[in-house]
């Protein structure tokens, strides 16, 4: 089966062509156009502007993905598209394009939840085993789920305020680092010592599987101007990682599973990966597949192949993992 995946939930315009042989998935092309350079000028994403960039890039990105894969439109078996959550203006570009192509080319249309899509980056070149705990750590979400099988998961907990990626980005901004903050803060942290500065770790000892990160940025704001910036970066990174590790391992133990699957932009953080690997069997995508891409969306569609009629599909900016 050959699937064309489309992803436009935020500031990346992405299209990918993948093929599968039973459970092995192969990427034929994976094109991502990011307007992150533009967002960097303003220190964050302006939804209206992100949507306009999506419109400009959508068709060229799909054309490039098809060209690179050497697959002709008539040989595509299905189209998969992110229908939420995300910025409504951005989502609409991908959803309406996918609906149009599915209608014109007469192909099945498979809607994919962006959050679930992130987890499926682990099935590109890998075969995670069920049951597993899933930790999603992206710019907008921090969620723990119990993965029983494809299409069968249970929501266990999540952030009550800021997401882990959002916390990285907001703290990076306080440290006057450029957007996107997470990777830049992680780079600076390599030159600092986390032990020099002690930051609060909210909810780290709570019995539930929820998180809270908004207090951390307030604590950082209070000391940002009087601290060594590299030490502070190292401490912020270690603090976020400690909380994520503690709750993930708590979930692994509580549900008696052996595997942990991580996903989302913050899963590209090497400190998080190395600290988790010390404690459990960990599945993590290669860094370039942790951030938004369409290969993960097409892969999710191979394992959750539930097409719907194009005129029935609507973008849902508030979709979450408990649906
Ligand atoms: O999953 P993603 O690409 O977009 C969303 O769906 O939100 O995640 C983007 C988030 C940003 O907050 C970014 O700062 C963070 O992932 N991120 C990182 C790293 N790489 C990306 N955070 C910490 N360390 C990294 N190496
Ligand atoms: Zn994402």
Q: What is the pLDDT of residues 116-125, one digit of tens each?
A: 999 999 999 8
pTM of the model: 0.95
| Average pLDDT score over the chain | 95
Residue spans of alpha helices (H) in 70-201: 88-105, 114-120, 164-174, 181-189
Measured distance CA(309)–CA(43) in Å, rounded: 39
> Whose alpha carbon is nearest atom 3 of ligand 1?
291
Kindly indicate the confidence band of residue 43, based on its pLDDT and cuts at 50, 70 and 90: confident
CB 182 within 8 A of CB 264: no
Ligand nearest to the CA of 50: 1
* Binding-site residues, ligand 1, Cβ < 6 A: 10, 138-140, 165, 168-169, 180-183, 186, 264-266, 268-269, 291-292
Q: Which of 194, 212, 167, 175 is nearest to 271 (CA)?
A: 194
**Distance from Cα 182 to the centre of ligand 1, integer Å:** 6
For the ranges 31-35, 73-77, 165-169, 252-256, the lowest mean pLDDT is seen at 31-35
pLDDT, position 169: 95
Q: Which of 266, 285, 317, 320 to mutate to test the pocket of ligand 1 (most atoms within 8 A of CB)?
A: 266
Kindly indicate the confidence band of residue 231, based on its pLDDT and cuts at 50, 70 and 90: very high
Average pLDDT over residues 27-33: 97
**Distance from Cα 121 to the centre of ligand 2, integer Å:** 11
* β-strand pairing of 24-34 with 132-137: unpaired
Ligand nearest to the CA of 163: 1
> Whose alpha carbon is nearest atom 24 of ligand 1?
269
Q: Which of 291, 297, 320 to mutate to test the pocket of ligand 1 (most atoms within 8 A of CB)?
A: 291
**Distance from Cα 195 to the centre of ligand 2, integer Å:** 31
Neighbouring-strand partners of residue 26: 19
Residue with tokens 């809607």: 111
> Whose alpha carbon is nearest atom 20 of ligand 1?
183
Residue 323 has pLDDT above 70, yes or no: no
Name the more confident of 307 and 48: 307
Residue 299 has pLDDT above 70, yes or no: yes
Kindly indicate the confidence band of residue 44, based on its pLDDT and cuts at 50, 70 and 90: confident
Q: What distance lies between CA 194 and its chain's CA centroid? A: 26
Q: Which of 34, 87, 119, 168 to mutate to test the pocket of ligand 1 (most atoms within 8 A of CB)?
A: 168
pLDDT, tens digit, 9 for 90 and up, residues 239-293:
999 999 999 999 999 999 999 999 999 999 999 999 999 999 999 999 999 999 9
Average pLDDT over residues 153-177: 96
Average pLDDT over residues 89-96: 98
For 106, left (φ over 0), alpha (ψ -120 to 50), or beta?
left
pLDDT, tens digit, 9 for 90 and up, residues 6-22:
999 998 999 999 999 88
Residue 222 has pLDDT above 70, yes or no: yes
Ligand 1 atom nearest the C-alpha of 172 is 14
323: burial class by Cβ within 10 Å (0-12, 13-18, 19+)?
A: exposed
**Distance from Cα 138 to the centre of ligand 1, integer Å:** 5
């Amino acid at each position: 089966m050959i699937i064309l995946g489309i992803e436009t939930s935020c500031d990346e315009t992405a299209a990918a062509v993948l093929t599968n042989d039973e459970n092995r998935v192969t990427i034929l092309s994976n094109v991502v156009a990011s307007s992150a350079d533009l967002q960097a000028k303003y220190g964050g994403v302006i939804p209206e502007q992100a949507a306009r960039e999506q419109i400009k890039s959508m068709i060229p990105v799909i054309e490039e993905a098809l060209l690179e894969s050497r697959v002709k439109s008539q040989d595509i078996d299905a189209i998969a598209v992110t229908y939420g959550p995300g910025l409504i203006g951005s989502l609409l570009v991908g959803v309406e394009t996918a609906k149009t192509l599915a209608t014109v080319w007469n192909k099945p249309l498979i809607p994919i939840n962006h959050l679930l899509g992130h987890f499926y980056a682990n099935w590109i070149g890998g075969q995670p085993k069920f049951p597993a705990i899933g930790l999603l750590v992206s710019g907008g979400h921090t969620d723990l789920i119990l993965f029983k099988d494809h299409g069968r998961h249970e929501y266990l907990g999540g952030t009550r305020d800021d997401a882990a990626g959002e916390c990285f980005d907001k703290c990076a901004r306080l440290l006057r680092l450029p957007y996107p903050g997470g990777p830049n803060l992680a780079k600076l942290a390599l030159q600092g010592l986390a032990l020099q500065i002690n930051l609060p770790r909210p909810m780290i000892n709570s019995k539930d599987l929820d998180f809270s990160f908004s207090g951390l940025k307030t604590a950082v704001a209070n000391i940002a101007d009087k601290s060594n910036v590299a030490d502070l970066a190292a401490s912020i990174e270690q603090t976020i990682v400690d909380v994520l590790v503690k709750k993930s391992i708590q979930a692994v133990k509580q549900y008696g599973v052996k595997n942990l699957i991580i996903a989302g932009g913050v899963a590209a953080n090497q400190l998080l990966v190395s600290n988790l690997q010390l404690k459990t069997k960990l599945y993590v995508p290669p860094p370039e597949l942790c951030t938004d891409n369409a290969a993960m969306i097409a892969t999710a569609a191979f394992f959750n192949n539930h097409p719907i009629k194009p005129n029935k599909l609507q973008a849902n900016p508030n979709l979450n993992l408990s649906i």
